[in-house]
């Protein structure tokens, strides 16, 4: 009787182990992220360019993750571009080539400037940044 019970328990244990095994790997691909930036000027004159140095901070790494941005400018007039590139069009999607990148904003008016940057990845995660630049109407060398 003990032999039969032991054989039965051994068979059940083997069956549980076999059923628990799965040849499908579960690899996490969807990681949240944020975008950090170095400080930028708070005031710009028409024609001035502000450099925005950015870094994507991932909560986990998946090689297949791709990052994109689009921007909107609710206040003022200016142009945003990536280093060495053409000016971006508002609300168009642009690929981010690496985790560390630079954006350049050129002020084209003498009024308050605001740009909103929307970052997203190919898994639907998003992160937003907003920058405001006041008009720098100081005239250097002019005595008041």
pLDDT digits (tens, 9 = 90+) for 49-95: 999 999 999 998 888 899 999 999 998 899 999 988 899 998 899 99
pTM over 0.85: no
Q: What is the pLDDT, as a whole number, of residue 132? A: 94
pLDDT digit string (tens) for 85-143?
899 998 899 999 999 999 999 999 888 999 999 999 999 999 999 999 998 776 554 44
Q: Provide the β-strand partners of residue 73.
A: none
Contact between residue 108 and residue 72 where contact means Cβ atoms under 8 Å apart: no
Report the alpha-carbon distance of residue 119 to residue 103 in Å, rounded: 13
Give the single-character DSSP code of 87.
B
| 32's tokens | 């949240």
Structural domains in the chain, CATH included, are: 35-135 (2.60.40.2410)
């Amino acid at each position: 009787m003990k032999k039969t019970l032991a054989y039965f328990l051994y068979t059940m244990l083997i069956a549980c182990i076999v059923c628990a095994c799965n040849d499908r790997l579960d690899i996490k691909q969807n990681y949240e992220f944020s975008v950090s930036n170095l400080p930028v000027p708070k005031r710009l004159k028409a024609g001035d360019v502000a450099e925005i140095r950015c870094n994507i901070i991932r909560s986990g790494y998946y090689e297949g993750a791709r990052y994109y941005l689009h921007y909107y400018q609710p206040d003022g007039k200016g142009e945003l571009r990536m280093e060495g590139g053409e000016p971006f069009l508002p609300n168009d999607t642009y690929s981010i080539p690496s985790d560390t990148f630079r954006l350049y904003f050129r002020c084209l008016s003498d009024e308050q400037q605001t740009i909103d940057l929307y970052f997203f990845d190919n898994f639907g995660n998003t992160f937003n940044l907003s920058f405001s630049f006041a008009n720098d109407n100081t005239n250097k060398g002019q005595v008041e």
